[in-house]
């Protein structure tokens, strides 16, 4: 009879263990998490982000102001809110346009910057080895022009369509007659684009003389390049309707890495190119 009692006790003990473990696990799950922050979705006034959300809030605000029977204090507060939303909308649209332009022209600007930086290094080496005054003067002028070009690439206004320093016609490629455009229209467009490019290069040169831009742009970091972009609305001879943007422009080849113009320098290896792309 004794063995049967022992069996009963052991079975009871074993059956009671899982319940204790489950109780402990339940208590662990119920324990509050330290440092837990409340969800932002529960905030009655969430931060507005995105152009569409701001436009939606603006429509609601204007509908409220259109009501005839509206208390004076409510109308005043709503008008303040509307002005703040209008300013926020301008900033959001500008940021969206900057992102679009940065994505669209990242590749061509990267290859042009690589090209100009290589040429700057080559001219600096020639200057160090040069002894003749006339040759040294010409090299200094070339170096200044290249640095103007580099500042042009690195500080080009973020909201403007990028005008290449090395367009297809400068690389000896065919013009855009393949799409049925006449040569006269193409030449007029090239003349207009060249004038716009030179206007901005002139402004950059003057800003370098006034020390508003770095006179040695090849030493700038990626953060300095992105933070010091030119403002298109304050450019000389530039207005809202003249942001160096044209409805038509010469076609630029999409595969820049297959372009013979960008691939003729063998002094830069692939590793350095990848490092510079990370900085951009």
Convert the pLDDT of each residue in 218-237 to its tens digit: 888 777 666 666 766 545 44
**Exposed / middle / buried, residue 258 (Cβ in 10 Å: 0-12, 13-18, 19+):** exposed
Q: Does the pLDDT of residue 213 top 70, yes or no?
A: yes
Q: Which residues pair with 239 in a beta bridge?
A: 242
Which one has a higher pLDDT value, 176 or 198? 198
As a whole number of angstroms, the distance between CA 38 and CA 47 comes to: 15
pLDDT in tens, 56-104: 999 999 999 999 888 999 999 999 999 999 999 999 999 999 999 999 9
Residue of 208 and 41 predicted with greater confidence: 208
What is the predicted pLDDT for the residue at 251? 42
User: For residue 255, what pLDDT band results from cuts at 50, 70 and 90?
Assistant: very low
| DSSP class per residue in 89-108 | HHHHHHHHHHHHHHHHHHHH
pTM: 0.58
Q: What are phi and psi of 209, to 5 degrees?
A: -65, -30
Element (H, E) at 137: helix 133-154
**Which of 115-129, 174-188, 232-246 is least confident?**
232-246
pLDDT at 229: 67
Cα 152 to Cα 118, 200, 249: the distances in Å are 16, 8, 19
Task: Determine the pLDDT at residue 148.
Answer: 94
Rounded CA-CA distance 64/82 in Å is 10
Q: What is the mean pLDDT of residues 233-249?
A: 42
**Exposure of 127 by Cβ count < 10 A (0-12 exposed, 13-18 middle, 19+ buried)?**
middle
Three-class secondary structure of residue 239 per DSSP: strand
pLDDT recorded at residue 203 = 93
Structure tokens at 254: 């999409």
The pLDDT tens digits of the residues spanning 4-32 come to: 554 444 445 444 455 544 455 554 555 55
The residue among 250, 261, 267 whose CA lies nearest residue 192 is: 250
Q: What is the mean pLDDT of the chain?
A: 72
The region of weakest confidence among 48-62, 173-187, 214-228 is: 173-187
In the predicted structure, residue 209 carries a pLDDT above the cut 80: yes
Compute CA distances 89 → 50, 53, 84, 95, 270, whole Å.
8, 9, 9, 10, 42
Q: Is residue 2 scored above 70 in pLDDT?
A: no
Residue 101 structure tokens:
């332009």
pLDDT at 133 (0 to 100): 86
Residue the block writes with tokens 């152009």: 51
Q: How many CB atoms lie within 10 A of CB 145?
A: 15
**Whole-number pLDDT of residue 259:** 44
């Amino acid at each position: 009879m004794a063995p049967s009692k022992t069996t009963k006790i052991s079975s009871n003990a074993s059956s009671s263990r899982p319940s204790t473990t489950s109780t402990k696990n339940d208590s662990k799950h119920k324990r509050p998490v330290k440092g837990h922050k409340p969800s932002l979705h529960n905030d009655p006034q969430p931060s507005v982000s995105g152009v569409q959300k701001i436009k939606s809030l603006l429509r609601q605000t204007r509908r409220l102001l259109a009501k005839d029977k509206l208390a004076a204090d409510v109308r005043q507060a709503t008008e303040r809110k509307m002005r703040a939303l209008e300013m926020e909308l301008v900033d959001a649209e500008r940021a969206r346009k900057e992102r679009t332009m940065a994505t669209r022209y990242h590749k061509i600007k990267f290859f042009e910057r690589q090209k100009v930086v290589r040429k700057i290094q080559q001219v600096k080496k020639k200057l160090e080895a040069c002894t003749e005054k006339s040759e040294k003067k010409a090299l200094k002028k070339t170096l200044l022009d290249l640095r103007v070009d580099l500042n042009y690439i690195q500080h080009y206004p973020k909201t403007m369509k990028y005008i290449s320093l090395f367009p297809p016609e400068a690389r000896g490629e065919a013009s855009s007659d393949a799409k049925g455009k006449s040569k006269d229209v193409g030449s007029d467009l090239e003349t207009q684009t060249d004038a716009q490019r030179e206007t901005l290069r002139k402004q950059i040169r003057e800003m370098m003389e006034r020390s508003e831009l770095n006179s040695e742009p090849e030493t700038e970091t990626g953060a300095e390049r992105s933070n010091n972009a030119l403002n298109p609305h304050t450019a000389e001879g530039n207005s809202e309707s003249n942001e160096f943007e044209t409805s038509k422009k010469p076609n630029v080849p999409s595969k820049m890495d297959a372009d013979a113009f960008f691939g003729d320098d063998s002094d830069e290896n692939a590793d350095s190119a990848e490092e510079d792309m990370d900085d951009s």
